[in-house]
């Protein structure tokens, strides 16, 4: 069972992601947060396997979450979900330790398929389709 934690300051985005993820076999949402400062403690408490995070949170920095989870023991896989998709920003996500990068305009099927592959045990960060949904 792949345990997913959602971090996004938009309730609408979290609800849409929750609906997408809840329809998948072998996947469960273990928590969600709209704030960076409370997210890390909750992520560790729930022992999430994958964290889907918006790096630009109101009142916080989602990139700090990505960096912290990449340094954790064991590291926690992160999927950055954002409206900012330029090459320089993607490179910053890679340096921070993000496993995947998804533009919020990506096709539903690409996000679903990537999460399903992870739920089925894939560890290949390069299994996702190219732009706009691609590995970080």
* Percent residues over pLDDT 70 in the chain: 90
- 73: helix, strand or coil: coil
User: 14, 5, 87, 18: which is closest to 45 by C-alpha?
Assistant: 5
Q: What is the DSSP letter of 76?
A: -
Round to whole Å and give the CA distance between 106 and 132: 6
Whether 92 maps to a domain, the answer reads no
Closest-CA residue to 39 (of 16, 18, 70, 8): 8
When divided into structural domains, the chain yields a total of 1
The residue assigned the tokens 């979290």 is: 14
Residue 64 belongs to a domain: yes
Residue 34, domain member (yes or no): yes
Does 75 fall in a domain? yes
Domain that holds residue 108: 2-86+97-135
Q: Has residue 91 been placed in a domain?
A: no
Q: Which tens digits make up the pLDDT trace of 63-118? A: 999 999 999 989 999 999 988 778 888 888 889 999 888 888 888 888 888 888 88
Instruction: Tell me the two tokens of residue 72.
Output: 């954790």
Indicate which CATH number applies to the domain containing 109: 3.40.50.2300
């Amino acid at each position: 069972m792949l345990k997913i934690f959602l971090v996004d300051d938009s309730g609408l985005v979290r609800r849409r992601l929750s609906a997408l993820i809840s329809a998948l076999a072998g996947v469960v949402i273990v928590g969600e947060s709209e704030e960076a400062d409370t997210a890390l403690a909750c992520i560790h408490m729930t022992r999430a396997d994958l964290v889907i995070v918006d790096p630009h949170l109101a009142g916080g920095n989602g990139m700090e979450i990505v960096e912290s989870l990449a340094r954790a023991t064991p590291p926690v896989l992160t999927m950055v979900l954002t409206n900012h998709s330029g090459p320089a920003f993607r490179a910053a996500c890679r340096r921070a330790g993000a496993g995947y990068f998804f533009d919020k305009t990506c096709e539903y099927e690409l996000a679903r398929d990537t999460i399903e592959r992870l739920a089925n045990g894939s560890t290949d960060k390069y299994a996702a389709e190219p732009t706009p949904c691609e590995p970080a």
